[in-house]
Amino acid sequence: MDRTARSFWLRAPGEGEIRTAPLPPPGPDDVLVRTLFSGVSRGTETLVFRGGVPESQRSAMRAPFQEGEFPAPVKYGYLNVGVVEQGPGELAGRTVFCLYPHQTEYVVPASAVTPLPADVTPARAVLAGTVETAVNALWDAAPLVGDRIAVVGGGMVGCSVAAVAAGIPGARVQLVDPDPSRAAVAAALGVTHVTPEAADGDCDLVVHASATEAGLARSLELVGVEGEILELSWYGDRRVSIPLGEAFHSRRLVIRSSQVGMVSPARRARRSYSDRMAVALRLLADDRFDALVTGECAFDDLPVLLHTLATGEPTALCVRVTYEEGP
């Protein structure tokens, strides 16, 4: 019997819909996965939803299993957890993570899925793609024992970086965000929440993830002499001004980009993409990360949810998408 799947598509900028399409039969090296949960990566997915991917970056921004082209119509997403319904014996019946969009079932090469460790719940595992970004960022930044670290911007990526950095012995980690609701999240992660005005300076490392000019400017003020700002923000089609006057040169500051599309040069010779994902999933055995899931949404409600997130809802982090159980 032919199988079909339902998936979320961006029909046009600002307009989402649920579509039904046939599933290809899995080959001998493929897996058929039934989705349990997916996650909405708010910053990137709302940028895609409003049609904000610059033409020059449309190739670089492609998700691994994206269909369609930017700006639309496009099927986009990369936080998916499901059960292998059919596939090689070592994977059959396993719960896995895959960088797949929001879809009820899908067929991918077996090499594209990562089995969850026994101590990681499927509901928490939707964060794996974002925690993988945090792992790559800290491979890039290479913070040291006892470092003074500020993470500017308390979105999904910033909170994930703060949570991982909190495990560095002796580190002082500040989550810098003007939203008072981030205080509870920071407390759950084991870091300190401060407003931009109250943040302590002279930092050894500042990770910027607010995607705002004000956040980047404050990052330059918080970093110490010869310190580094690691830029994780994705601005899409917006132009950003950087205040490189005043003491930027005399203090010998460095601004460096980091992006998950390539394994950090610091580890590239020895670690693969699958190795990096395995690290992220091991970290998710820690229940502190549950604080990053701030809501749930039924799959059929995704078009409304994305519109809401794209037009406001400033306190949202990861919204977990739930799917009806299959037969």
pLDDT per position as a tens digit, 191-225: 999 999 999 999 999 999 999 999 999 999 999 99
* HEC-encoded secondary structure of 219-265: HHHHEEEEEEEEECCCCCCCCCCCCCCCCCCCCCCEEEECCCCCCCC
Reading the block at residue 84, the tokens are 């292998």
Amino acid letter, residue 59: S
Q: Express each pLDDT in 287-302 by its tens digit.
A: 999 999 999 999 999 9
Q: Of 25-29, 56-60, 298-302, 310-314, give the lowest mean pLDDT range.
A: 310-314
- Tokens in use for 70? 């930017």
| CB of 223 closer than 8 Å to CB of 253 | yes
The model's pLDDT over 54-72, given as tens digits with 9 standing for 90+, comes to 888 888 889 999 999 999 9
Rounded Cα distance between 149 and 152, Å, is 10
> Using one digit for the tens of pLDDT, what is the confidence trace for 105-150?
999 999 999 999 999 999 999 999 999 999 999 999 999 999 999 9
Inter-CA distances, 326 with 22, 189, 313, 321, Å:
16, 34, 31, 15
| Position 316 pLDDT exceeds 80 | no
Neighbouring-strand partners of residue 206: 150, 229
CA distance 58 to 323: 29
Structural contact between residues 95 and 82, judged by C-beta atoms closer than 8 angstroms = yes
**Sequence-separated (6 or more) residues with CB below 8 Å from residue 66:** 74, 75, 76, 101
What are φ and ψ of residue 36, in 5° steps? -100, -45
Q: Residue 286's pLDDT band (boundaries 50, 70, 90)? A: very high
Residue among 140, 204, 201, 209 nearest 170 (CA) = 204
Inter-residue contact 85 to 32 (CB < 8 Å) = yes
What's 168's DSSP letter? Answer: S
Q: What pLDDT shows up at residue 327?
A: 42
Mean pLDDT across 224-244: 89
Residue 151, helix vs strand vs coil = strand
Task: Name the residue among 324, 277, 293 with its Cα closest to residue 116.
Answer: 277
- What integer pLDDT is reported at residue 1 of this predicted model? 58
* Domains identified in the chain and CATH numbers: 4-127+284-322 (3.90.180.10), 135-257 (3.40.50.720)
Give CA angle at 169 (167, 170), nearest 5°: 120
Report percent pLDDT > 70 for the chain.
98
Let me know: does 187 contact 204? Beta carbons within 8 Å.
Answer: no
Encode pLDDT of 158-199 as tens digits. Answer: 999 999 999 999 999 999 999 999 999 999 999 999 999 999
Please check whether residue 133 is in contact with residue 233, taking contact to mean a CB–CB distance below 8 angstroms: no
More confidently predicted of 1 and 188:
188
How does residue 314 score in pLDDT terms, banded at 50, 70 and 90?
Answer: low
> How many Cβ atoms are within 10 Å of 181's Cβ, its own excluded?
13
Pairing of the two strands 30-40 and 80-86: antiparallel
